[in-house]
Amino acid sequence: MKLTNILGLLLVAGASSQQAFAQYEGDALKFSGTESSTTARFGALGGQQTSMGGDLSSIYGNPAGLGMFSRSEFAFTVGLNNYKNKSEFLGQSTSSSVFNPTINNIGIVFHSPVSKFGDNTKKGLVAVNYGIGYQKNNFFKNKIRFSGVTFENGLGDYLAEAANRDGASDPEKLSDNIVYGGWQGYLFDQDNTGKYAPNTYSDGDQNMNILRSGGQSNLDLSFGLNFGNNVYVGAGVGIASLNYKSQETLNESSLFADNGSPYNVDFLKSYNTEGSGVNFKIGAILKPVNELRLGLSLETPTYYDLTDTYYERIDFLNTFNTSVSQDQDFNFNYNLRTPLKLNGGISYIFGQKGFISADVNFVDYSTIKFTSNESATDRNVNNYIQNNYKDVVNFGVGAEYKVSNEFAVRAGYRHMGDPYVKSSVDNSVNRYSGGFGYRVGNYSIDAAVMVYDNKDGYSAYTLSGGNEPYADITKTTTRVSLTFGARF
């Protein structure tokens, strides 16, 4: 499916600036695609942690797992993410990559046994454990490049269409600064009928550079209760924060149609989204027998209060060194409610030699809710979400084998479903992971690597005929993480 990032030039007469500058339905999906952070141990298992417990990942995932701690523990996880992108654009292939060092999570669990006397020390409430942690659950850093030669679908065509939608018969009265800048730069002009038409040859060289940064994180406070060492329940609250930045520059160079002289134009778009929110988690783990664990957890929607800042500029330079520059900026406040997430898991323990664990996760992306002071924007965005996004079932399996009392190896797989009702590409993701762990005394170190591919696409602008230049992008992500832990 084309995930077109509209330049903010899809303007019609009387349209508000807030409606013009963002494609909120795409952002709503991007900001809803978070997963609970894990330590490197559970990362190597593919992220399966709903039923296992006894790991700091329980702070962020199923808080019932905190009830399994028999000692207090501190741990932190660092990571290195590598993003490789291959773009196919107008018959040309371009590659780009970027590295991103991260602090994935840091947390501490306090074990608090319940004082008991007599023969029933292992019955009823055995322990109340508390955990607090910071997790990074979505990474936006990326670098994408592509280039190619257009054919009757360049910036002149786009700006002429935008000017005709504006409806101003006098170019001096065009309501949008960027469209007006296109007329000042001679990318389009009026024909004999008074309509606006492109003043560019069809074979324009286009080069796009996209730089993105930021992420989403949670500060979680959770607790877990241990009842008789076979029933565990827990709950938690998370304070979410969001910071997303994107800077996109499109350069086009070609010749003017009327006199054949060359021109060069740059489009700059800068997005910045910031805000905070809150969510809650509850969960339970049952051990019907020592070898079997069953887990269930629920994460409520995150309720975000967000602010968008958008800036765009267009710069022209022609063969006579005549330059034109126009810019404009917008600010917009809105609320976003992400989907509820339901998780189930099952684990089987093979004595002291290891275990196998499987998770299933249900998310309905059509329930994303967007609200603002612009009722027309709300209606359009929410209708798009309900008609184009759907529920997905994600699942995965992972296993650990203890080579010795100190050393363990792990592997995992996870499938993430396609959230689109209809799509020209498969937007599902298959993740493969592996790693190892070493524990001696009260100290441990765990390592994990995760690799997956996913498809994406980009158009810098849209044309009424649907023939705008479009880039098919294949992204390969490699994540390496290390967790250092200490019990006390």
Tokens of 200: 């560019």
With a CB cutoff of 8 Å and minimum separation 6, the contacts of 219 are: 132, 133, 134, 238, 239, 241
Verdict on whether the full-model pTM lies above 0.85: yes
pLDDT attached to residue 11:
34
Domain boundaries in the chain? 17-149+201-487
pLDDT attached to residue 184:
85
Predicted confidence (pLDDT) per residue in 325-362, tens digit = 888 888 999 999 999 999 999 999 999 999 999 999 99
pLDDT attached to residue 256:
85
Nearest to 135 by CA among 51, 236, 274: 236
Amino acid at 428: S
Amino acid at 121: T
Q: How many CB atoms lie within 10 A of CB 272?
A: 16
Nearest to 159 by CA among 193, 199, 194, 191: 199
Residue numbers in the chain where pLDDT is lower than 70: 1-22, 117-121, 318-322
- The Cα 109–Cα 72 span in angstroms is 5
What is the H or E stretch that residue 243 is in? strand 231-255
Contact 196, 186 (CB under 8 A): no
Kindly indicate whether the domain formed by 17-149+201-487 is annotated with CATH number 2.40.160.60.
Answer: yes
